[in-house]
Structures are given as structure tokens and as C-alpha cells.
Homo-oligomer: A and B are copies of this chain.
Amino acid sequence: MTARRPATGAAVLRPELTEAVVEAVLAELAEVGYGRLSMQRVAARAGVGKSALYRRWPGKDCMVVDVVGRFGVPDDPAPDTGTLAGDLRELVGGMRDWLDHPRLGLVLPDLLAEARRSPDFAAAFRERLAGPRRARSRAVLERAVARGELPAGRAGGADAELVVDVLGSVPFWRLTVHGAPLDDDLADRLVALVVRGLTTG
């Protein structure tokens, strides 16, 4: 589920071709989705031969995971606005924007569907895409405990896990089931609900 490396230094896969292919894969994914993505069309769109694709990846699955993996992880560190609510708002907003991205947004549901069936795919997905985002959310919660905003017991363990899921799943669900991204009002209400849920009782 990852890119091949050349065996010896004799002739190296030309990186500009790889880039062209990556661009083409993203464009095709956005337009027709994973299921209807065709290696032939990707190759044609990138202006390369089919063999250039199969030389880099063993198949469609791996190619897509690898390509999407290159663009899924946010480069910036976890938000730090000084308050839990502020940080959560940032997280939810970031998730929403990622999902609504004109290129990547349409792809995530495809990947989830594929992951539900293929364990390899699921593992790659968790490692490359879900994992890094979850780590950012955890960091926010831990910082809130450190600041004393949250009781350590509740936010540190299973509840943290749960909140991480809520922050990821609700923006996804709104976009997919309702066909429109989570608006600012609902995002604020979601953050407020979670904060109240974590800090009371």
C-alpha cells in the first residue's frame, strides 16, 4: 500500500511524471470518484503511459491511498487559542474545510467505503489520514486538562476517544447525509454541547 522504490540507481522513476500522475489522480477522483476511476484515463490525463502508473504502484488501490495520503495531513500543528472551546472550534472548522475541499472532499467517502471492505486499505487509511488528525484532537484535549479546564479523569481516557470521534464524524455526517457543510451556528452549538458534556456532571 505504499510506493515502490527503484532497485538500483541505474534509471530512476522520473519525479515530474509522478507529480503529473498525482495531479491527474486527484482530478479524476474529484470528478468521477474512486469506483469509476480508470487507470487509462488517469494515464491519459497525466500524459503518460499506463506502464508509468503500474511501475510506481501495484494497482489502483495503492495508487489512490498513496496519492490521497500525500494531501490528507494538515501541516500546521494542533490549534492553541487558549481555551478549549476555541481550540475545538478550530478543529471542527478545519475538519469541515478539509471535507469540503473541492478535490479531497469528494474522495473521503469513497475511501471509507473501500476501507470498510479491505483491511489493508483500512490500515493504510488509519495510518496516513485518520491517525494524524486524531492526534491533533487529542493534543487539544490534553492541553485543556493541563490548563485545568477539564478534569483529568474524564478527558484523558475513553471520553477523549469519544470526543475525538464526535469532532470528526459530525462534520462528515452533515456534509454527506445532508449534502451541505456544517454551518457556523451548528459548529458553535456542537462545540458548546461537547464542552458542557465534558465539564459538567
**Contact call B186/A196, Cβ cutoff below 8 A:** no
How many copies of this kind of chain does the complex include? 4
**Contact call B193/A159, Cβ cutoff below 8 A:** yes
Mark out the residues of chain A between 130 and 182 whose CB falls within 8 Å of any chain B CB in the assembled complex: 130, 158-159, 161-163, 165-166, 168-170, 172-179
When chains A and B are docked, how far (Å) is the Cα of A47 from the Cα of B113? 28
Name the contact of A200 in the complex, choosing from B115, B162, B200 (C-beta under 8 A).
Answer: B200
Report how many residues on chain A are interfacial, defined by Cβ distance under 8 Å. 48
Q: In the complex, identify which listed stretch (A16-24, A38-46, A66-74, A116-124) lies at the interface while the others stay far away.
A: A116-124
Majority SS of interface residues in chain A?
Answer: helix
**Contact call B109/A116, Cβ cutoff below 8 A:** yes
Q: Is A27 an interface residue (CB 8 A)?
A: no
When chains A and B are docked, how far (Å) is the Cα of A131 from the Cα of B193? 23
Return A72 CB to nearest CB of chain B, in Å: 13
Q: Is A189 an interface residue (CB 8 A)?
A: yes
When chains A and B are docked, how far (Å) is the Cα of A109 from the Cα of B125? 15
Given contacts A109-B113, A115-B179, A158-B185, 5 further A-B contacts (CB under 8 A): A106-B116, A130-B177, A158-B189, A165-B174, A193-B197
